[in-house]
Each structure stands twice: as C-alpha cells, then as structure tokens.
Amino acid sequence: MARTDERHHGATAAAEEYHDDIIYPGAIPFVIVHLVCFAAIWTGVTATAVIMAIVLYVVRMFGTTAGYHRYFSHRSFKTSRAFQFLLAFLAQSSAQRGALWWAAKHRHHHRHSDTELDVHSPRHRGFWYSHLGWIFKRDQGVTDYEAVPDLVKYPELVWLDRHPLIPPTLLGIGCFAIAGWPGLIVGFFWSTVVLFHGTFMINSLAHVHGNQRYVTGDDSRNNWWLALITLGEGWHNNHHAYQRSTRQGFRWWEVDITFYLLTALSWLGVVWELGRPPEDLVSNERKLGRAVIEKVAHQLAASFEASQIAVQLREAWASSAALQELRAKVAAGQVRAEALLADVHLPHLPPLPTVAEMRARAEQMFASSPSMDEIVERARELVLRAVSVELLAVGAPGGLRPAMG
C-alpha cells in the first residue's frame, strides 16, 4: 500500500484566491435549492418523506454511478438503446446537468487528471473549487460534443442533454403528488442536495484522502467510507488504474454496490459484457504504460531542487581540476551536458542524487509498481537535464558551456 502524499494538505494561497471567470450569479439556483431545504420547518418531516428521500438518494446515486460514470463516461458495459435512455433519464433526475455534458467533463478529467488542465483538481485549486466552484465557470456550462462522438449519434440523448431539467422537474412533481409538501421538500430537495455533495466528494476528497494501491500518475485514492456513500465510487485509485472496469472494488472486501446491481441486471439480460480488470493488473504485476511512467518520472524529478543542486555543483567544481578535460569536450560539443553529470565521479558531489536515493524517494511518494526501475531511471535523466539547464543559465566556472543535444 502507498504512503499518503503530504503535498495535498492545505491549499496554497494562490489556490484559495483563484477566481478566474466564475460567474457567481450562476450559483444562485444552486444556493436556492439548498435554502429550500429549510422549508421543512413549515412543511414538517414525515416518515413517508424521509423514506422517500433515502430511496431517491440510493436510486439516483445508482443512476449517477452506473449511468453518468460507468456507462456514459467509460462505456464499461453494454445495454440496449432503450435502457441507455432510461439510464440517462435516471441520472439526470439528480439535477447534475445532461448525461453528455457529464460524460464529456469526466473524460476530460481523466485525460488531464491532476494537471493544470484538470477542471476540478484539488491539487491546483483547493477543496471548495474542486468540490463545486468549477461548475460555475463561464466555460463549463456548454457540452463538448466532440468529446463524446459515440453518444451524440443518438438524437434522444442529445435532446435529453439539451433539456436537463425535465427529469428532475417531473420527479419533483411526482414527489409532491405522492407525499405533498413534505414529499417535495424532504423527499426530493433533501435527497437532491445530499446527492450533490456525495457526488462532488469524489472530485474533492477522493484525490486527497485515502490510500494508493496503484501508480496512476495522479492523486486518486481508495477510500472505504466514500465507497459506502457513493455505492462504490470511493475505490477511486482502482478506477484510475483501469477505467474500463465496471467493477471498481477490485478486492472481495471492497464493497461496490453499483457493480452488484449491474451484475443482477446482467442476469436479467438488461446489461451485458461488464468490464473486469485483468488479473495481472489487480495483483499489481502489470508494467505501466509509457505515458504514466513519463508523468510519474516528472513528478519524482520535480521533488529534487535542480537550482540548488546546480549552485552546490558550481561551488564543488571551483576547486576541482579533474573536470578540465571533460569541460573542453562539452565546450566543443562532443558530449551532452547531462552525460557530463552522469559520468563524472567527484568525491565532493553530494547534491547529485544517486539511483538509490531517487528510488527511496519514489517509494515514499508512490505506490509500489513493477515499473519502478523505469520511473527512477527516467526521473534521474530529467534531474540531470534540469541541473544542466541551470548550469547553462548562469555559466559554469572556467567558461564551461555544455552542449544540450
């Protein structure tokens, strides 16, 4: 199991002050939905309404996890066109915008997870922005249909996506018809608000709190209590390790209610071809892809301060005569700068991290991986290159100007 990464504790001042182009009036309907919940003071809270709220939370959370996420975002199982529409309708009854909008945003999240391009990464913008602030950005309200070409070919899904409030409105009317004002306020609005924040916590907390079993190149975590309240979505590191798996609780003890319900539906022939993670991946024996290795290696390399290393190297070189010949080769363009640093062995060069030191740092930062050697090797190349750039920027003693071929 991985060590919890300390870099997420507390948002930076820049993240806390980040406003970008958020249109705060866009949050008014969201705030009103929360305020309406206080109307229960006047309508009262009945047993029927409470039961309705609990049922609607569970049913619509299933629509969110099975529909919005595992089906529309990742296509991790197959179903009929009719049930596909029903899933979209059920998911949209949660009032979390259209199914195509949701899928497009989520696919973008996976392409850029925890980078500056991630629309809701707590690493860069802090808790509140990743939890709900990003939703109110000017550029987040439009569906990117180019991101979901497999879904836009269904006109009924496009129509539903363009009319996202029809499902929740009809559901609200139904709640009022069944249980009156308590049914509307408690049954519908209470469950809707709790559902909002249950879903949002996967963005804001599942990339901060929990454990990492797999190296994924991002901050995704497995969190058992998030898994319980989101019907299985809390096994988030598992999910990022293999997105096409319908099952996100890879171990028998990792409760994944969404998967259990989808399995039952598969017995009835409603859904089929449920995706499962490969055994070598589950056991963490599968080598990482080149893109993940590159991303993780950059993270490891960034944990070493190249500018400080360069300063110490210049001080060590000032009294050394052993590098004169190599300096001449570098100045003549006969050897690359990073090759100079990799091959030179001076008795007083403690700032250059060794392979063993970099591996120890990697084991502190990341989960175990069969690709750790490749990660460390690539990271050391990046560190040497970064130090070389720093040396070039200032100019090494004796007129050294390494070639960066």
CA 133 to chain centroid: 16
Is the pLDDT assigned to residue 2 strictly greater than 50? no
- 395 located within any domain: yes
- 404 located within any domain: no
pLDDT higher at 404 or 52: 52
Q: What pLDDT is recorded for position 180?
A: 96
pLDDT digits (tens, 9 = 90+) for 181-213: 999 999 999 999 999 999 999 999 999 999 999
- 321 located within any domain: yes
Residue 291, H or E segment: helix 290-302
Q: 385 and 296, same structural domain?
A: yes
- 185 located within any domain: yes
Residue 7: band (very low, low, confident or very high) from pLDDT cuts 50, 70, 90: very low
Average pLDDT taken over every residue of the chain:
84
Q: 317 and 272, same structural domain?
A: no
Is the pLDDT assigned to residue 101 strictly greater than 50? yes
Final residue in a domain of this structure, among 282, 300, 319: 282
Q: What pLDDT is recorded for position 82?
A: 97
Q: 372 and 230, same structural domain?
A: no
Residue 400: band (very low, low, confident or very high) from pLDDT cuts 50, 70, 90: very low
Q: What pLDDT is recorded for position 244?
A: 95
Reading the block at residue 251, the tokens are 């171990």
Q: What is the pTM (predicted TM-score) of this model? A: 0.84
* 167 contacts 151 by C-beta, under 8 angstroms: no
Residue 308: band (very low, low, confident or very high) from pLDDT cuts 50, 70, 90: confident
**Cross-strand pairs, 211:** 222
- Residue 64 CA to residue 301 CA, distance in Å, equals 38
| Residues contacting 205, CB < 8 A, separation 6+ | 122, 223, 226
Residue 5: band (very low, low, confident or very high) from pLDDT cuts 50, 70, 90: very low
Final residue in a domain of this structure, among 228, 258, 282: 282
- Residue 208 CA to residue 65 CA, distance in Å, equals 20
The three-point CA angle 114-289-343 to 5° equals: 95
How many structural domains compose the chain?
2
- 255 located within any domain: yes
Q: 232 and 104, same structural domain?
A: yes
Final residue in a domain of this structure, among 250, 266, 282: 282
What angle separates helix 81-92 from helix 166-182, to the nearest 10 degrees?
Answer: 50
Highest mean pLDDT pick, 133-142, 356-365, 386-395? 356-365
Q: 98 and 157, same structural domain?
A: yes
Residue 8: band (very low, low, confident or very high) from pLDDT cuts 50, 70, 90: very low
- Residue 362 CA to residue 296 CA, distance in Å, equals 9
- 405 located within any domain: no
Q: What pLDDT is recorded for position 25?
A: 61
What average pLDDT does the segment 149-166 reach? Answer: 96
Q: 218 and 114, same structural domain?
A: yes
Nearest CA among 310, 360, 295, 377 for reference residue 340: 310
pLDDT digits (tens, 9 = 90+) for 163-189: 999 999 999 999 999 999 999 999 999
Q: 318 and 185, same structural domain?
A: no
Provide the domain limits for residue 368. 290-399
Q: What pLDDT is recorded for position 10?
A: 42
Nearest CA among 281, 294, 297, 289 for reference residue 213: 281
Q: What pLDDT is recorded for position 40?
A: 96
- 348 located within any domain: yes
DSSP state of 271: E
- Residue 103 CA to residue 84 CA, distance in Å, equals 14
Report the DSSP pairing between strands 271-272 and 78-79.
Answer: antiparallel
Q: 357 and 213, same structural domain?
A: no
pLDDT digits (tens, 9 = 90+) for 245-288: 999 999 999 999 999 999 999 999 999 999 999 999 999 999 99
DSSP conformation letters of 205-221: TTTTSSB-SS--SS---
**Cross-strand pairs, 403:** 336
Residue 333: band (very low, low, confident or very high) from pLDDT cuts 50, 70, 90: low
Reading the block at residue 145, the tokens are 């249909």
Highest mean pLDDT pick, 20-34, 61-75, 136-150? 61-75
Q: 258 and 368, same structural domain?
A: no
Q: What pLDDT is recorded for position 309?
A: 75
What average pLDDT does the segment 137-158 reach? Answer: 89
- 1 located within any domain: no
Q: What pLDDT is recorded for position 307?
A: 76
Q: What pLDDT is recorded for position 35?
A: 96
Q: What pLDDT is recorded for position 179?
A: 96
Q: 324 and 237, same structural domain?
A: no
Residue 312: band (very low, low, confident or very high) from pLDDT cuts 50, 70, 90: confident
- Tally: H helices and E strands in the chain: 21, 2
Q: What pLDDT is recorded for position 369?
A: 92
Residue 102, H or E segment: helix 99-111
pLDDT digits (tens, 9 = 90+) for 37-92: 999 999 999 999 999 999 999 999 999 999 999 999 999 999 999 999 999 999 99
Is the pLDDT assigned to residue 6 strictly greater than 50? no
Q: 67 and 159, same structural domain?
A: yes
Q: 297 and 275, same structural domain?
A: no
